């Protein structure tokens, strides 16, 4: 009697099977749900603040069951920490400024270009910037990133400005760190707090004021 049973096919390496497909689909859905929670929390924290935002509001905006938030994040504060850690605006600013490695020998032109890049990056990540500015006084984890962001950027601006001055054969500045701090703070204000429809004229005016200390 011929054997009627068919041999069970052995899947080759890397081939999905009916057993692995539900697991892969579940993992994808799990990541998507977690991302929606992070997106919703980021938007609400930026708009209303951490304390004024409830986990119920986050769940409703993310379109997930309320209990699912605590599956991924044990507390609302842990959710804030994940946003700060995983969506670090400092990384974005570093990437935006990589193309500015070679200084322009004209410090005015250099600062205008630098300022424009700052504004573009802050606008692209305005929610994260708003969270940093809003929450850094009351949440140590936010304050840590805010201060790291501020001090690193001040050092970069000061170094870049001094290199531009050197390339243009200007006299070294004793107060270059102060100028860099003023430059950065102005961009924090116009990039986060104000919304200028045409920021370039403001950038040029601000740079011209700073240039009075250089020339």
Q: What are residue 51's phi and psi, to 5 degrees?
A: -65, -35
Instruction: Answer yes or no: are the C-beta atoms of 128 and 90 closer than 8 Å.
Output: no
Instruction: Count the neighbouring beta carbons within 10 Å of the beta carbon of residue 71.
Output: 13
Give the burial string for 108-147 (b: 16+ CB within 10 Å, else e).
Answer: bebbbbbbebbbebbeebebbbbbbbbbbeebebbeebbe
Among 202, 187, 196, 193, which residue's Cα sits nearest to residue 114?
187
Alpha-carbon span 56 to 89, nearest angstrom: 27
* pTM check: above 0.75: no
| Inter-axis angle of helices 176-188 and 199-211, nearest 10 | 160
Query: In tens digits, what is the pLDDT along the chain, a chain of 215 residues?
Result: 444 444 444 344 443 344 443 343 455 578 899 999 999 999 999 999 999 999 999 999 999 999 999 999 999 999 999 998 898 777 777 776 666 666 678 888 888 888 888 888 888 888 998 898 889 888 888 888 888 888 888 888 888 888 878 887 677 777 888 888 988 888 777 777 777 778 888 889 888 988 887 76
Domains in the chain, start-ordered, CATH in brackets? 25-86 (1.10.10.60), 89-211 (1.10.357.10)
Q: Are 31 and 117 in contact (CB under 8 A)?
A: no
């Amino acid at each position: 009697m011929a054997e009627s049973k068919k041999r069970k096919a052995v899947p080759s390496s890397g081939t999905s099977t009916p057993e692995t497909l539900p697991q892969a689909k579940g993992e994808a859905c799990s990541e998507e749900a977690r991302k929606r929670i992070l997106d919703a929390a980021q938007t609400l924290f930026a708009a209303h603040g951490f304390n004024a935002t409830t986990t119920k509001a986050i769940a409703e905006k993310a379109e997930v069951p309320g209990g699912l938030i605590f599956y991924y994040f044990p507390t609302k504060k842990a959710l804030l920490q994940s946003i700060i850690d995983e969506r670090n605006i400092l990384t974005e600013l570093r990437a935006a400024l990589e193309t500015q490695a070679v200084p322009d020998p004209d410090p005015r032109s250099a600062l205008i270009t630098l300022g424009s890049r700052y504004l573009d990056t802050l606008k692209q990540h305005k929610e994260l910037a708003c969270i940093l500015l809003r929450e850094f006084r009351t949440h140590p984890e936010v304050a840590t990133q805010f201060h790291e962001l501020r001090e690193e950027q001040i050092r970069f601006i000061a170094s870049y400005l001094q290199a531009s001055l050197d390339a243009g054969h200007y006299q070294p500045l004793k107060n270059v760190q102060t100028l860099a701090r003023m430059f950065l703070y102005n961009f924090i204000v116009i990039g986060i707090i104000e919304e200028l429809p045409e920021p370039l004229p403001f950038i040029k005016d601000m740079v011209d004021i700073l240039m009075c200390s250089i020339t």
